[in-house]
Structure 1
Amino acid sequence: MRHVLAPSRLRATTNFAGLIRSTSTPEFSSTFTATFRQQTHRSLSIKPSLQKNFQTSSKMSSTQISANAVLDLIKQRRTYYPLSKDLGSLTVERINEIVKEALQHVPSSFNSQSNRVVVLFGAEHEKLWDITTETLKAIVPEDNWASTAGRMAMFKGAAGTILFFEDETVVKGMQEKFALYADRFPVWATQSDAMLQHTLWVALEAEGLGANLQHYNPLIDAKVAETWSVPENWKLNAQLVFGGKTGDAGEKAFGAVEEKFKTFGSA
């Protein structure tokens, strides 16, 4: 049986870990580590079988969640259609906090930090899908419009959308600074953006929300930039639609891992 901490417990654990990392004095670190162990057992009421997922390092003075706990969340991340406007107990402030934390800490090549994000809620979210609908209406054949219109209505019915961009000025600056790797920086920027997309998708899943990832760029790029005053050097890459789950995710098939994996050597 898999054990995954409830979102509130994960948040509490993260808060403790943050406090430990921000403390530089050994005396406080030692005292706080002992307090944290008591809190994870008493306040969070973690079952003994789950306590192995929390390991405290005396050298680093930080608390780490085990790989199994992280992998469980990754496994639970799925594509959900349709979504509702119900965010449960989550607030706009909390979601923005999650996005900002991920934006700051997802890695990028040479710490270039080329990722950019715009988060849309409520009427602003609905405006995005009205824009997309209008754009597609002009190019989709009439015979195919009914299904397209249905998809647009489905996305509009969700609670919000996260828009992912990469700052092309940053990428070009890195190309000039490190000319030897100039052809790689656009690829690395895309990889960093993909990591951010996945991180936020998993984080929203951890908070109990569903999401699906869309790519209506570059069709909507100009109108998005105009509507939300997005700098012209921000290139739109993807749209993560999120909201309350209205049903289960569909079945997911997996190819044999033996066909995808190789390993060599030993410890």
Structure 2
Amino acid sequence: MKILEALLMKDTFLNLMKQRRSIYALGKDVRPTEDEITKLVTEVVKESPSAFNSQTTRIVFAYGDAHDRVWDIVLDELKKVVPEEAFANSKQKIDSQFKAGFGTLLWFTDMSKVKELEDGFPLYADNFYDWSEQHVGNSQFAVWTELAENQIGASVQHYNPLIDNAIKDAFKIPDEWRLRSQMPFGSIEALAGDKDYMADEDRFKVVK
């Protein structure tokens, strides 16, 4: 029996991946403290792979008033571009799905680090920005999954570049940091619905 168990492929990580969903019904009833969440996310991002170990991703943790300010900025900027008759729906969405959460992670790419790599490795210069995007994706996925393991819901939003300048001004963000996404998170007040999948034959190909 022990030999058979040893031969079976492990699926613990796969099951954790299945817990990671876009959660839009967020609340503030989160058990870990802000410090515990900050430490956990910091460690996860540090362990997320990046090309050349370039570590181009930067994170700003927004809690409390800062969290509210992020979504107030989103609303302020949306109000400038969304038709007046549609703005009430936008406000309801922001308030109920994002601002209602416990906090927000702001994801940036340090473009000065990307430039440094481009100059230092000219043979690969055209690839470093793409690789920096991969690092954002790798670290987002890892953090998202780790939050889910701790019964914390999250989603990824992309109000950049609409909010870029206002976010930089509000939180004194370095000019070299380029905003890539926003991850509101909090207690899971309602589960996500069923997830649809494309047919495997349309996505995967085995060659030998």
The TM-score bracket by the shorter chain reads: over 0.9
Relative CO higher for 1 or 2, CA cutoff 8 Å, sep ≥ 6?
2
Contact 2:45 2:142 in 1 (8 A): no
Displacement after TM superposition at 1:67 (Å): 4.2
2:47 is equivalent to residue 105 of structure 1: yes
Pairing 1:135–2:77 present = yes
Q: Give me the identity figure in percent.
A: 38
**Alignment partner of 1:241: what SS?**
strand
Matches within 5 A, 1:13-162: 67-87=10-30, 89-154=31-96, 155-162=98-105
Matched, 1:251 2:194: yes
Secondary structure class of the residue paired with 1:194: helix
Match of 1:264 in 2: 207
Output aligned runs, 1:92-241, within 5 Å: 92-154=34-96, 155-241=98-184
- CA-CA distance at 1:109 after TM superposition: 0.9
> Letter of the aligned partner of 1:246 in structure 2?
E
Which residue identity lines up with residue 149 of structure 2 in the other structure?
A: A
- SS of 2:201 mapped into structure 1: helix
| Secondary structure at 1:116 match in 2 | strand
Summarize deviations over 1:209-254 as a string: whole Å, max 9, x none.
Answer: 1111100001111111111111100000000110011112022111
Corresponding letter in the other structure for 1:105: E
Q: Within 2, Cα distance between the matches of 1:165 and 1:68?
A: 32
- TM-aligned CA deviation for residue 121 of structure 1: 1.0
- Per the normalisation by structure 1, the TM-score is 0.73
TM-score normalised by L of structure 2: 0.93
- How many residues were matched structurally? 204
Shift of 1:206: 0.3
Secondary structure (helix, strand or coil) at the match of 1:153 reads helix
Give unpaired runs (5+ residues) of structure 1.
1-48, 54-65
